[in-house]
Structure 1
Amino acid sequence: MSDLHELSALQQRDAVRRGEVGSRELTEHYLTRIEALNPELGAFITVTAEQALAAAREADERQAHGQELPRLHGLPLAFKDLTDVAGVHTTHGSSAVDHVPAPANHTLVDVLQAAGAISLGKTQVPEFGLTAYSENRIARPARNPLDPATSPGGSSGGSAAAVAAGMLPFAPGSDGGGSVRIPAAATGLIGLKPGRARVPAGTSGEDAGRLVVAGPLARTAADAGLLLDAMVDEPLARAAFGTEPDFLGAALRAEGRFRIGASTLSPFAASYPLWLEPEAQTAFDQGIRLLGGLNHDVLDADFRYDNRYPDAFTTVWTSSLAQLRMPASREPQLMPLTRAFRRRALKKSPAELLAALRILARFQEDTIAQFGQYDLVLTPALAMTPRPVGWYTATSAEVDYMRQCQYSPYTSMINVCGLPAIAVPVLTTARGHSMGIQLVGKPGSEAVLLAAAAQLENVR
């Protein structure tokens, strides 16, 4: 058998079910890889080896006794360190808050553990999940396995680095402004942001704009579908969406021909100078060529966005920082960007927050109406190649945030609209960086996105 981490998550699942490899053997394999690779890549903040091996032993016993095996039986994964796992410290990537063991699991953890997944620990995040990079003051920065001098993005950067480096077969991330799709694009993975409320958010923070949703990071569309099938198996999600999910099946079938609107326009152009680096433009053009070659109808789309979007989004995105219960003596321990955003949030009145929410609600209505002309909308995944570690934090808070908007100008608007979207790699640059595209679907079209991503995989 090939090295276990070289198999897809789906192949690993099947090997475990056939008895070709045990859950404990699989878990030990990944723990060994974490021990070897994490010192350089900084993907994990906490490794819970003892708990993982105990869970793997129980999984093997369940299989030995002929019990029914859950969907993700024996498959390792890990959670962002914004997600509570009972008995494990949740740091939120911050040195300004107490790191205490979580008293209970987040719903997403319960759902995936019930599906048979085995958690290996907690992965690196930016402070409170705020940024498009994964650097903080409590642990070494997460680094991109494709080029360790660069960042894997954020805020699910540690999870993406772990999957891309073969420290995990796949992982759940959470996405409030691009936090699954940005790291996926930077590390050459599939990253799916489901539509609003399709999956438990994966974080415990306030979310006034209902921006955050959990989604899978994986090396293939089928692996993303396998994980998403488990992630949506939660009572409220089942009640809201009714039908039994088959995202894995959609990826394996890879069916459909779609009308696709292609655009490089971004609402952040109202506030910042935006441009596509040559590699990003080449990836966008490659996406158009590949999709056209698959007999999709790819058309130039001329979208128009509300110029008030950048300020309104920033107000809503940072509003949760005003709710942090923190003595003034600890504020200097915050990262400079967090501290600046918190001060801004504290100055905003409830009326100003409400006004920003209303602007975003109108933006959602207008944008969904424009996107509705197409089955899918195509944008660049990122406007630049992966950025060097420290590129953002070496500047002022204002320049840091501007650079994030310039790096990833196409993701946050999809969270505001509550639409599903997927990042798909389409090429590798001469320097070994992965570049990709973003596909945005209609409400409830996660299966369509996985099918389209699988089609692209088949022709790359």
Structure 2
Amino acid sequence: MTQMHDLPAHRLAAMVRSRELSPREITEHVLARTERHDPGYGAYITVIAEKALEQAQYAEKRVMSDTPESLPPLLGVPVPIKDLDLLAGVRATYGSRVLADNTAPIDSDTVARLRAAGAVFPGKTNTPEFGSSCYTENDVAPPARNPWNPELSPGGSSGGAAVAVAAGLAPVAHASDGGGSIRIPASVCGLFGLKPTRGRISGAPVKPDLVGLSTSGPLTRHVADAALMLDTMSGNLPGDYYTAPPLPPGETFADHVRREPGRLRIGHYAHTGSAGLPVHPDVLAAHESTLRLLADLGHEVEEIPEPGDAHFGGTFSDDFAVIWAAMASATPVPAEREPELGELNRWLRERARALPVPEYIAACARLQRGVRSWMAATEPYDAVVTPVLAQPPVPVGYFAGDGPEEEFRRMTAFTPFTSVFNVTGQPSMSVPLHHAPDGAPIGSMVTGRMGGEPLLLSLAAQLERARPWADRVPPVWHD
């Protein structure tokens, strides 16, 4: 029998508009599942049940008073917010005990757009301190655990968002990605995750990412839901450093889910070049399976060089580490409370303070030259396919415990494929096509041209039809 959490977000929204389901029913169902299951999975840092029910009640009034055509697209649909974004009147910890009592005075622009679209906010999802790591463990909440196996990590830094969707605690979730933080948890939790083009979604008013690595985006089970979320969150404000190429007038991302992508020319690679990082056999098998599926669907598939060697002069990892340390230093922390930060962030912030400005500028310049070279070399390809990660999901606690330098090394070895596309700014998605022999999910990453979300969504929908994944869920789904 179909349960309410089996329904995709776009279907829930349609049922609200037609009065088949009430926003309060949906919200109560989500909150009940959260109360029952979240203590064992750590999806949320903060649950705001009372506020969510108030929002649901307001949505019900709109359903009864407005015409269906005039209702906003996400009315009554629960959408948790990652605790790196501001949700007015709710604490914003950024995953840090230093900010455990911090309350957001306003909504971020992304949250404001979701609010205007009628979304209901059940709470703030778990994230590592300042989003600095690829796993979700911190000092303000229990560790996030993978719904497929609670001994495994759900990745990060949008780990809590992924847990909420994968465990059926929310139909979709807001997430963000500065080095793979949407695609990593999507891969290990069996979800669809999309990092949009740089500048597609505004970081206003407070995200100080001058290099443009980070962006908000959706984590979902269904491609159509990701398109709906992207239509809702997209937009720019005066003062944004970057803006993405707009869609043609009157066109939406949701339109492209219903369109065939045509025959595409697709490049691929699955090696890490001079870095010499090993790629697990299960990951390689999943990658080869994706390539066969794409070929079976009529696409032209050919191998291309790994971008670090061919285009970034072999310095990509070092240069990215410089930028990552600078980003970790951007969140204001009183000097007397710096010792309370986690070991990784203390180490990153110390590296940033010791970094001469000319070295930072030189790293940015080398990365920019690499981006130009990579873009020119891959222009003939409609998309590029790689693994998301070098390994299947790893245990909770795998990364930490042996010092911050070793932690950073392990994270780099786990995620050698994702961060290059934060540097280039290209749209990039994790598609949940595979599972390892032990049942753990393994995603495939597909990256498009700048502004290429429409084609990525069309291709993802084709893959979803060819190899449906939404019915494959973890055991907690049926509890």
What 5-or-longer segments of structure 2 have no aligned partner? Answer: 468-479
Determine if contact 1:85/1:104 at 8 Å carries over to the other structure.
yes
Q: Between 303-312 and 323-332, report the one with greater CA deviation.
A: 323-332
Q: Encode CA deviations 1:263-308: one digit per residue, 9 max, x unaligned.
A: 1144xx54x5411111101110010011011000011112413211
2:400 to 393, 400, 412: 393
Aligned to 2:466: 459
1:241 to 237, 246, 249: 246
The one-letter code of the counterpart of 2:462 is: Q
Residue 285, structure 1, aligned to residue 292, structure 2: no
How do 1:61-460 residues align onto structure 2 when only pairs under 5 Å count? 61-67=61-67, 68-97=70-99, 99-201=101-203, 204-233=206-235, 241=246, 243=248, 244-266=250-272, 269-270=273-274, 272-303=275-306, 304-306=310-312, 307-460=314-467
Tell me, in whole angstroms, the C-alpha distance in 2 between the residues paired with 1:13 and 1:234: 25
Q: Structure 1 325/171 Cα, relative in aligned 2: closer, same or farther at 3 Å?
A: closer
Q: Distance in 2 between matches of 1:322 and 1:9?
A: 36
The one-letter code matched in structure 1 to 2:80 is A
| Pair 30,203 (structure 1): closer, same or farther in 2 beyond 3 Å | farther
- Distance in 2, Cα, partners of 1:173 & 1:323: 19
Q: Which aligned pairs between 1:2-13 and structure 2 lie closer than 5 A? A: 2-13=2-13
- The residue type equivalent to 1:7 in the other structure is L
Flag structure 1 segments of 5+ consecutive residues without an equivalent: none
Contact preservation (8 Å) 2:268, 2:386:
yes
The Cα of 1:324 is off from its aligned counterpart by 4.3
Q: Distance in 1 between matches of 2:128 and 2:33?
A: 23
**Distance of aligned partners of 1:52 and 1:404 in 2 relative to their CA distance in 1, 3 Å threshold:** same
What residue is the counterpart of 2:477 in the other structure?
Answer: none
- CA contact 2:197–2:244 (8 Å) conserved in 1: no
Alpha carbons 2:270, 2:284 under 8 Å: kept: no
* Percent of residue pairs bearing the same amino acid type: 41
1:22-61 maps to which residues of 2 (within 5 A)?
A: 22-61=22-61
Letter in 2 for 1:40: G
Note the C-alpha offset of 1:261. 0.4
Displacement of 1:240 after TM fit?
Answer: 5.8
Deviation per residue, 1:422-454 (Å, 9 max, x gap): 100111222121112101101111011111111
Give secondary structure in 2 for the equivalent of 1:116: coil
Count of residue correspondences: 457
Distance 1:238 1:348, change over 3 A: closer
Contact 1:193 1:420 in 2 (8 A): yes
Indicate conservation of the 8 Å contact 1:232/1:238, yes or no: no
- Check conservation: 1:192, 1:215, Cα contact below 8 A: yes
Q: Which secondary structure state, in structure 2, belongs to the residue aligned with residue 201 of structure 1?
A: coil
Q: Conserved in 2, the CA contact under 8 Å of 1:174 and 1:202?
A: no
Partner secondary structure for residue 197 of structure 1? coil
Instruction: Give the C-alpha shift of residue 239 in structure 1.
Output: 9.3
Report the aligned-residue RMSD. Answer: 1.8
3-state secondary structure, aligned to 2:433: strand
Q: Is 239-248 or 283-292 further displaced after alignment? A: 239-248
Tell me how far apart the structure 1 counterparts of residues 47 and 129 of structure 2 sit (CA, whole Å).
19
Aligned 8 A contact 2:92 2:99 in 1: no
Query: What SS does the corresponding residue of 2:97 show, helix, strand or coil?
Result: coil
Distance 2:372 2:75 in 1: 41
State the 1:152 CA deviation.
0.7
Could you say what secondary structure the match of 1:28 adopts?
helix
Change (3 A) 1:203 1:407: farther
How far the C-alpha of 1:208 sits from its partner, in A, is 2.9
User: 3-state DSSP class of the match of 1:64?
Assistant: helix
